[in-house]
């Protein structure tokens, strides 16, 4: 399938970009604490009751209440009051890690699914999965010219002009391969085939055929009979030139 290699490259690039994005986000969440210098008597400025943040109870002994609260803590060397903390610890870095993993897995699954569906998602394109059994089992490398003609005629009889356009394009690839203009390989892209063509005239005509094919097949453009006739004329003209 010509587009497999291209989509595999997309998956690798996306994984690398997401990894770089995660590392940048992770670095931004880390803060550097600056060392602060305090005066020797700084505690004297914060000795009042309103600065008691450690959960210790401030106890006063008055003459009026000799047996008051102080008596409970008189012999206690550490009058700390135990406090239950219900504060939830929220780790921003941990949550970002999980978010990164979820995004990465989702992206890889989506692109892999797109790759297996020949360049389109398939989730929103139910129509493209109908009447395409022939092309899915068709082997271009072992096919003969008569095979292409038979399949094109069958698609035309079913008014499936998109499929007919695909067969014409594959017919062109096969013909160029037979003429040693290109070398057919399953994982090559059509752009790579275009770069292989040394003859400038052939390259221009193949570029036009490639545009029609991409627009019709991958763009899922449904041609009417008149539009198909014009595209067919273009393909047949190129095939005739290749066979000379």
Mean pLDDT, the chain, integer: 71
Query: How sure is the predictor about 175, in pLDDT bands with cuts at 50, 70 and 90?
Result: very high
Tell me, yes or no, whether 57 lies in a domain: no
Say which residues have a Cβ less than 8 Å from residue 224's Cβ, sequence separation at least 6: 161
Say which residues have a Cβ less than 8 Å from residue 210's Cβ, sequence separation at least 6: 169, 190, 194
DSSP secondary structure code for residue 56 in this structure: B
Average pLDDT over residues 155-160: 94
What total of structural domains would you count in the chain? 2
- Looking at per-residue pLDDT, the higher value among 16 and 207 belongs to 207
For residues 103 and 179, state if they share a domain.
no
Last residue of a domain, one of 107, 126, 145: 126
The CATH number of residue 182's host domain is 1.20.120
Domain that holds residue 6: 1-17+91-126
For residues 112 and 137, state if they share a domain.
no
For residues 141 and 222, state if they share a domain.
yes
pTM of full prediction above 0.85: no
For residues 97 and 164, state if they share a domain.
no
Query: How sure is the predictor about 230, in pLDDT bands with cuts at 50, 70 and 90?
Result: very high
For residues 118 and 223, state if they share a domain.
no
What is the model's pLDDT at position 220? Answer: 81
Tell me, yes or no, whether 26 lies in a domain: no
For residues 117 and 3, state if they share a domain.
yes
């Amino acid at each position: 399938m010509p587009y497999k290699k291209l989509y595999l490259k997309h998956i690798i690039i996306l994984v690398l970009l997401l990894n770089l994005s995660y590392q940048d986000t992770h670095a931004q969440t880390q803060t550097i604490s600056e060392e602060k210098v305090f005066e020797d008597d700084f505690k004297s400025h914060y000795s009042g009751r309103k600065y008691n943040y450690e959960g210790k109870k401030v106890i006063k002994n008055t003459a009026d209440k000799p047996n008051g609260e102080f008596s409970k803590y008189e012999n206690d060397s550490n009058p700390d009051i135990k406090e239950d903390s219900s504060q939830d610890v929220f780790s921003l870095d941990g949550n970002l890690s999980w978010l990164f993993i979820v995004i990465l897995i989702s992206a890889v699954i989506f692109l892999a699914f797109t790759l297996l569906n020949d360049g389109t998602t398939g989730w929103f394109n139910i129509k493209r999965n109908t009447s395409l059994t022939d092309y899915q089992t068709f082997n271009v490398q072992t096919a003969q010219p008569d095979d292409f003609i038979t399949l094109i005629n069958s698609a035309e009889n079913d008014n499936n002009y998109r499929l007919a356009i695909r067969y014409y394009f594959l017919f062109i690839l096969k013909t160029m391969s037979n003429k040693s203009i290109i070398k057919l390989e399953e994982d090559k892209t059509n752009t790579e085939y275009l770069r292989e063509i040394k003859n400038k005239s052939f390259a221009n005509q193949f570029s036009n055929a490639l545009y029609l094919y991409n627009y019709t097949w991958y763009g899922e453009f449904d041609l009417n009979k008149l539009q198909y006739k014009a595209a067919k004329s273009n393909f047949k003209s190129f095939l005739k030139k290749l066979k000379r």
